[in-house]
Amino acid sequence: MKLDTTHLSESDFESYRRGSLAPEELLRVDDHLAACAKCRERLNADTAALMDAWRVELGAGTARRSHWRLAGIAAAAMLGILGSLWYFARRDAPATSREVARLHDRGAMVTLDSAGHLAGIAGLTSDQEKVLADAVQNGSLKIPPEVRALAGRRETLMGGESQSQQILLHPLATSVLEDRPMLRWKPVEGARWYQVLVIEEGSEAPLRSGRITETEWTVPQLLRRGSRYTWQLRATLSSGEVLFPAPPAPVATFSVASAGTAHRLAKLPDSRILRGVIYAENGLLASAQQQFEALLRDNPESDLVKNWLRAIHNAQSFH
């Protein structure tokens, strides 16, 4: 609505004080009063004059004879006072927040408004709510640099890049919650059996599996929490042995979450959004990816979830 540049008329003031304006006219007058200091002063002065007139008539002993007139003055004065109070309350009220994100999460609807207020997930701590609101508002994830470093660097050799790294599936460039993680890989064509080697950083004694024909192996003993590990797959073919990964791919590296982190994350509410963000910001990129992929199935058009998945992919990519 275009705001009038002229001042309010006598009729406008009278109708406003009596409360007889139609809704659209009331809105016009309110908007004008919000912008025009002169008309606000006039309204306040008229209100004060009405109150003075009421007091004069009461002092002259004419209250009984002027019953209806005084009632009208009192009503007009009250309307003027209420109108002024409403205007200033409206002027000082904070701007209405708008919704900036809405996601389906395990049958619930999670929303975030422009003021950072999150709704739809029960049992959040103030720290969790702050981290989640920040990730939703910014569309980004704060992935620890030490976890990004697990991706390593490619070497460049003559003859092109090797595809050997694609054989190994998990864990790669991530932290894991389990201290007995399951290692997985793709089948190697022609392989008769496999052997897995896992070695802790700084150690010279690797853990070795026996001969296995499956494409997964769970480490049989507890790994040290907070430590970093590398692993390698040896496939035995009729023509000999092949190691994965092999140059130019970097070594396959992962870390095991500390005991404190594992204990804290075990208590997270059952929300894919929350777990995905918190997992990512604690370096559990593979676990975060699983949460976000499930979330994307429920929200296939969500650019926010796609951005989160892209951030995880980039963090795990070779440098």
Express each pLDDT in 245-304 by its tens digit.
987 778 899 999 999 999 999 999 999 999 999 999 999 999 999 999 999 999 999 999
Last residue of a domain, one of 67, 92, 117: 92
> Do 36 and 126 fall within a single domain?
no
318 neighbors 154 (Cβ within 8 angstroms): yes
What parts of the chain have a pLDDT lower than 50?
Answer: 1-5, 54, 62-66, 68, 154-162
> Do 197 and 67 fall within a single domain?
no
**For residue 4, is it within any domain?**
no
> Do 313 and 243 fall within a single domain?
yes
**For residue 5, is it within any domain?**
no
> Do 109 and 255 fall within a single domain?
yes
> Do 159 and 84 fall within a single domain?
no
Last residue of a domain, one of 39, 66, 92: 92
The CATH number that applies at residue 181 is 2.60.40.10
> Do 239 and 267 fall within a single domain?
yes
Provide the angle, in degrees to the nearest 10, between the axes of the packed helices 303-316 and 285-298. 160
258 neighbors 284 (Cβ within 8 angstroms): no
**For residue 180, is it within any domain?**
yes
Last residue of a domain, one of 51, 77, 92: 92
Number of domains in the chain: 2
> Do 88 and 158 fall within a single domain?
no
Distance CA 232, CA 244 (A): 6
**For residue 74, is it within any domain?**
yes
> Do 150 and 208 fall within a single domain?
yes
> Do 235 and 124 fall within a single domain?
yes
**For residue 181, is it within any domain?**
yes
> Do 87 and 136 fall within a single domain?
no
**For residue 2, is it within any domain?**
no
For Cα atoms 53, 59, 64, give the angle at the middle one, nearest 5 degrees. 90
Q: What is the pLDDT of residue 294?
A: 97
pLDDT digits (tens, 9 = 90+) for 165-183: 589 999 999 999 999 999 9
Q: Hunting for tokens 């920040």 — which residue is that?
A: 134
> Do 217 and 263 fall within a single domain?
yes
**For residue 24, is it within any domain?**
yes
Distance CA 36, CA 25 (A): 16
Give the global pTM. 0.67
Q: What is the pLDDT of residue 116?
A: 80
> Do 178 and 305 fall within a single domain?
yes
Classify residue 151 by its DSSP letter.
G
CB burial of residue 108 (10 Å; 0-12, 13-18, 19+): middle
Q: What is the pLDDT of residue 4?
A: 46
Supply the range of the domain harboring residue 199: 97-319
Q: What is the pLDDT of residue 90?
A: 52
